[in-house]
Structure 1
Amino acid sequence: MRRIPVLATALAAWVLVGPAVDPAQAAAPTPKPSASASPPGPLLSITVDDGRTEVSAGDELTYRLTVRNLGATTVADIKVSQSMPTGLTLVSADRGGKARDGAVTWATDLKVGQESTFTTVARVGETPKDLLRLATVACATAKGGTKPLVCATHSDLLPAGAVAPAAEDTGTSWLWSAGAAAALLIIGLGAFVLRHRNRRRRVAPAHAYPASRPTESTDRMAGAVSVD
């Protein structure tokens, strides 16, 4: 009969205290599920060039665009575009390029490390007289994207740009000439004033001279008429 109170006491203590817990397990935080890393986006490069640095009206330019996949996955349905600015008229585009809204566009797929080249021929027309350079921009955009992943530009010097440095040099030379003339005028004026002052110093006033001494003949006459 005495065992019943002892068992009841032990059972109550186990319920209140709970089962024994390892201190190391109690201190360790509960691990949380890690968020899965998002896959990296496409990594592309693009270049555009026509092999020239200066152009004028009537010239035909051949542009070469090169797009390369630098990423670790294949990129499908890439939109490649080249702008046709004012003064540049498209003549032809290879690989089914379509001209629309002042630009030529293509679509291509690129495997890892693969590159694609596109070619356009454009003619230079009349450009604004104050336009110094004729520039075109090439971009590559991923499928469904609104912003380009990468862009490149190329520009050629126009006749107005070639004349501008000469006009600027002429203006600078005129300023230098005017400054040199002013400096010479100031130096000459200073020399004139200094010379005039020196002349004035050389001509002393009459009262500055000492009284004239009596001559020898005057002394003799004075001695002759003198009375001892």
Structure 2
Amino acid sequence: MVFRDSCVRRAGRISRAHAAAAIALLAAQSWSGTAHASVTPKPKPSPKPPALNIAIDNGHTSVRQGDRLTYTIKIANTGAAATPVLRVFQALVPGLELISSTPAGTVTAKNIEWNKSLAAGEKAEFNVTAEVGELEAQLQRLTVVACAADKSSERSIVCAAHSDRVPAAGGPVQSQVPGTSASEWYIAVGGLGLLVATGVFVGWRLRRRKPARAPMAP
């Protein structure tokens, strides 16, 4: 009887030990899951970039050394909210010498730039006057790029480019009548020359056909 009571007490102690171990294990797992959730924050959604339009133009299709050009940059906020502070800039390409800008911009080694925030629906314009200097011998087109970037991240949002043809150095300059192509001009000149030659030939034939005048009687 004493032996049985001892076994019962011992079994009770073992059961209680197992229960305590199970409770401790569950608590550790619960704490581990809570700690893991606290150190893994949810990723924040990327902010949507502002809705912008940009364009650049200088009113030319071809340029030569010595030409003075005015580039006009137009930018518009087409969204429903104001933009952050923007960095609007125009690239200063080799061979293009900066003269002035309106409004006055900040000149760096590669760009001329302005800081501007646009309200919803607002438009802005920037003008850059430059002179075409000495260009590379093999350059066929002079291309200038303008962009708008988020000033806080330096990430470009929109860009636009304007490209002008660069005629070959020393090439002939062809004068054309406005509204006519080169081939039409050559055809017109050739036709005029043919008409003149035909008129000379006809006049010469008529002179040869005139009868000789009879001598006058004394």
- TM-score bucket of the superposed structures, by smaller chain: 0.5 to 0.7
Give 1:151's aligned residue.
Answer: 159
1:94 Cα offset (Å)? 1.2
Gaps of 5+ in 1: 1-34, 164-228
Bigger radius of gyration: 1
Structure 1 residues 158 and 44, CA gap change in structure 2 (3 angstroms):
same
Any idea what SS the aligned residue of 2:139 has?
A: coil
CA RMSD for the aligned pairs? 2.1
Structure 2 counterpart of 1:179: none
User: Does the alignment pair 1:115 with 2:123?
Assistant: yes
Deviation at 1:105, TM superposition (A): 0.2
- Aligned residue type for 1:74: A
C-alpha separation in 2, matches of 1:156 and 1:37: 42
Measure how far apart 1:122 and its partner are: 0.4
* Match of residue 125, structure 1, among 126, 133, 148: 133
Instruction: Check the 8 A contact 2:87/2:151 in 1, yes or no.
Output: yes
SS at match of 1:61: strand
Relative distance call for 1:159 and 1:78 in structure 2 (3 A) is same
Uncovered stretches (5+) of structure 2, i.e. residues with no partner: 1-42, 172-218
1:89 aligns with 2:97: yes
Poorly superposed stretches of 4+, deviation over 2 Å: 35-41, 160-163
8 Å CA contact 2:147–2:157 kept in 1: the answer is: yes
TM-score if structure 2 supplies the norm length?
Answer: 0.55
- Report the TM-score, using the length of structure 1 for normalisation: 0.53
- Percent identity over the alignment is 37
| Partner amino acid, structure 2, of 1:138 | A
2:70 to 59, 62, 66: 62
Kindly indicate whether the alpha-carbon contact (under 8 Å) linking 1:88 and 1:125 is maintained by their aligned counterparts in 2: yes
Cα distance in 1, alignment partners of residues 136 and 67 from structure 2: 16
Asked if the contact 2:137/2:169 (under 8 Å) is kept, the reply is no
Could you tell me how far apart the structure 1 residues matched to 2:86 and 2:71 are?
A: 19
User: In 2, are the aligned partners of 1:132 and 1:161 still within 8 Å (CA)?
Assistant: no
Give the secondary structure class of the aligned counterpart of 1:148: strand
Check conservation: 1:61, 1:121, Cα contact below 8 A.
Answer: yes
How big is the shift at 1:76?
Answer: 3.0
